[in-house]
Structure formats: structure tokens, C-alpha cells
Structure 1
């Protein structure tokens, strides 16, 4: 369960080439989450070189890079980041590419509804958190396994 404190710590990035969409998104969601907005995928990638994001939402149709391309790059570089595609166009190729290339968690249509976006962001963050928890548990299990193997070898040698 996500607490109120957790909500403000959720780092959300929204990428769209339309300033009005960025402004609306930031003003609508900054009271719930930590929000960064970018006019291009490259700006977001540059920011991600030095910062962590839990949830990345991208518009599909942008001038220099499609949202699916951007999300595919994110998947390769930051696989734990949960990716969502937001578009105003019903484009079946974009949906297929979003799944196959960008490994998106959700496909959302414009105009968005605040409740739907909030539900999607919080579900995405929960997925991010669980991925991280699972990775930590896997590391602990590996260390325990190594210790058990060492103890077993010691008992055989004694």
C-alpha cells in the first residue's frame, strides 16, 4: 500500500512536444508526485543520466523521436523504470510497438482523465517498488546460497 509520504516521493517524468500538455500535466499532478516535464525525449534522457525516475510517460508523436523509440531506449538503459505511452491517436502500430519495443506498462489515450492517470502512476510505482524488492531479495538469496555452499564444502573437508 502506498502511503501519502510515498506519493510525494514518486518521481514521474512526462515527455511531450506540446507545451500546453506539459503545463497541464505538471499543474495537475505536482501536488501528488514529484514531476519533471520535458519537450523532447533527448532532454529527458539527458536528465536521466543524473537522476532516477520511477515512472516515465511519453507522448507518441514527437518531431525527433517517437515515444515508442524513446521508451525502447529507456527499457535498454533503465529497465526498472516503468514506462507508459500517452497519445491522442488510435494507432495500432503504436500500440504494438509500445508493447514490443518500449515494453510499456500502460497505453493511455488523450485527453486523459486525472483519476485514470493517478491510478496508472500509482500502479506503475507499485510495480517499480516490487521489482526493486525482488532484486534485493534475489541478492540476499544468492549471498545465503554462497554461505551455505561454503559451509557445505567446509563440512566435507573436515
Structure 2
């Protein structure tokens, strides 16, 4: 099952999101970036949706703050405002997969979460395959050196 975290300072949005998607995904919700960080520190989160305009830390700032320590979750920025500079910042600084506007449509969100999870799994598979390839290469180099020495 896909683990989804939704961060929004508007409680009614959190309630609506959880009610809409709790049967499809493991849904975690919280009202601040600080709470969001606590959740991703203890849970494996595949997709994070964050509101842009929140007190103390914007969605972009939150994404930017977790990239180094938690690079794997796919990030989706969701906002009620159409601010082109926020879109550019989201892409450049927060490495955001999608930028969505409120009010959101359930079917659209569901599709984007599922597509984001596919990206998450493809990246994981790519890392795993790359690691196996590197290991195989080291073994081949070792065998080649052994053959040359004997």
C-alpha cells in the first residue's frame, strides 16, 4: 500500500483528504512542516503532498529541508494560489514532481499519487540494479586480477 503524507495548516483540508483517500492509501496528515518531518523520520513515506502557504515554513522550504536526508519520497506541492515564482522555486529548490492547485479533484489527486508512487518504485529499482551492477563489476575485476596473477 502507498504511504502518503499530506501537510496543510487548514484542518478541514486534512479531514477531507483523509476521508477521500483512506481506503486507497495509508494516509498520514499533519498541520505543520515540523510535524511532517517527525512523521517521515519514523515512517516510510512514498509520496508527500504539502500546501505551499503555511505559517513558519512554506511547502517549498519544507521540501528543500528534507531533500538531503529524505531524498526518496516524491513531492507534490498543492496550493490555493497561482504564483509562478512558487512554481519555479518548487521545481528548482524543492525538486517537486507536480504542482497542483486547490480546490483539488479527488480523481486527479489519486492519479498523481499513483504515478508518483510508480516513479518512487522505478527510482528504487534503478538504485537496486545499479548497486547489483557495481557489485558484479567488482567481482569481475577481482576474477580478472586473479587470472592475471596465476
TM superposition score category, shorter chain reference: over 0.9
Shift of 1:50: 1.4
Superposed CA offset, 1:60-85 (max 9, x none):
00011001000111222211110000
**SS of the residue 1:103 aligns to:** coil
Match of 1:84 among 76, 96, 105: 76
Long gaps (5+) in structure 1: 1-8
Between 43-52 and 106-115, the greater mean CA deviation after superposition: 43-52
The residue matched to 1:151 in structure 2 has which SS? helix
Q: 1:137 aligns with which of 113, 129, 148?
A: 129
Q: Which residue of 1 aligns with 2:36?
A: 44
Q: Is the 8 A contact 1:57 1:84 kept in 2?
A: yes
- 1:29 and 1:133 map into 2 onto residues whose CA distance is 26
Q: Secondary structure at the match of 1:76?
A: coil
Give the conservation status (yes or no) of the 8 Å contact 1:12–1:35: yes
Aligned partner of 2:109 in structure 1 is 117
Q: Distance in 1 between matches of 2:12 and 2:42?
A: 26
Deviation beyond 6 Å, 4+ runs, structure 1:
none
* Residue segments in structure 2 that go unaligned for 5+ positions in a row: none
CA contact (8 A) 1:74 1:81 kept: no
RMSD, aligned CA: 0.6
Match of 2:146 in 1: 154
State the alpha-carbon separation in 1 of the partners of residues 12 and 20 from structure 2.
12
Give the count of matched residue pairs.
150
